[in-house]
Amino acid sequence: MTKTTNTGSQNKQQQPGALENLRPLILDVAVPLGSYYFLKEAFGTSTFAALAWSSVVPALRTVWSVVRERRFNGFAGLVLLVNVVSLALGFVSGDPRLMLAKDGGVSSVIGIAILVSVAMGRPMMTEGLKPFILKGDTARAAAFERLRSGSPAFRRAERAYSLVWGVVLLAECVVRVVGAYTLPVDTMVWLGSVVLVSAIGIGMVVSGGLAAEPMARMITAENAENAENRVRPEVAVVA
């Protein structure tokens, strides 16, 4: 009797590549951001026009997800929201302190949108986190969905991840606005970038330790348990 199994080859065929794994980030973040800088730097397009044209892809992605998939693409919607707010704030001019403070306005809008998504039970930052904790593994993706539907601890961690980023971005906005009106303008020109980079660093460290790493461990444990309980493939008997 000979046992044959093709589980390994099937899993390998089903395994998505790195490009497929990162597709949401590429379409929803990299393409709009890249097109903005490409239009602005390569063609000398105005900031307003570059923002408008770079909003086309996230706008189409948002409409497509609502009409075709019957769901709201939170990540694409967030990028679109940022562009719209940036376009609106582009009309603000004159006062240099107000110009510095308006950068914090974008962060506040993003932070509020993320916190609202948490309150609605659809944490917006999950789509950005998934590629890094699933690593393109279909088994881990399946484990993610099982935990999301059946584990309160996993859902709490998922909400916590977005909650951290929402709070960090709101705090960054407050620091920028306060600095814009209390510190010398020349100081805030360079300090604003330092505040942004620091906020991103804090967000990555806190959200990673509080949510991302625990979620990854739960996925690994769930995946291992499911593999043990999974029905073995049929055995082919060769005379």
Confidence of residue 24 (pLDDT cuts 50, 70, 90): low
> Against a cut of 0.95, is the pTM above it?
no
Please count the structural domains in the chain.
2
Q: Which residue has the higher pLDDT, 203 or 58?
A: 203
Domain check: are 168 and 222 in the same one? Answer: yes
Instruction: Determine the Cα–Cα distance for residues 12 and 6; give it in Å rounded to an integer.
Output: 10
Q: Which residue has the higher pLDDT, 216 or 233?
A: 216
Average pLDDT, the chain: 77
Q: How many CA atoms lie within 13 A of 154 on its CB side?
A: 18
Confidence of residue 69 (pLDDT cuts 50, 70, 90): low
Exposure letters 68-90 (e unless 16+ CB within 10 A, then b): eeeeebbbbbbbbbbbbbbeebe
Among 91, 125, 154, residue at a domain's last position: 91
In a domain, 123, yes or no: yes
Identity at 89, one-letter amino acid code: L
Domain check: are 82 and 171 in the same one? Answer: no
In a domain, 63, yes or no: yes
Residue linked to tokens 């000398």:
44
Confidence of residue 20 (pLDDT cuts 50, 70, 90): low
Among 59, 91, 123, residue at a domain's last position: 91
In a domain, 200, yes or no: yes
Residue linked to tokens 């809008």:
109
In a domain, 239, yes or no: no
Identity at 68, one-letter amino acid code: R
19 has pLDDT over 70 = no
DSSP string of 125-157? Answer: THHHHHHHHHTT-HHHHHHHHHHHHH-HHHHHH
pLDDT in tens, 178-232: 998 899 888 887 888 788 889 989 999 999 999 999 999 999 999 888 877 765 5
Q: Which residue has the higher pLDDT, 169 or 25?
A: 169
159 has pLDDT over 90 = yes
Burial (CB < 10 A; 0-12, 13-18, 19+), residue 227, is exposed
Among 91, 111, 138, residue at a domain's last position: 91
Q: Which residue has the higher pLDDT, 146 or 106?
A: 146
- Residue 27: give the domain boundaries: 1-91
In a domain, 220, yes or no: yes
Domain check: are 72 and 102 in the same one? Answer: no
**Per-residue CA distances from 122 to 44, 83, 177 (Å):** 39, 22, 29
DSSP string of 150-169? Answer: H-HHHHHHHHHHHHHHHHHH
Domain check: are 108 and 206 in the same one? Answer: yes
Instruction: Determine the Cα–Cα distance for residues 187 and 21; give it in Å rounded to an integer.
Output: 41
Domain check: are 60 and 177 in the same one? Answer: no
Domain check: are 79 and 100 in the same one? Answer: no
In a domain, 221, yes or no: yes
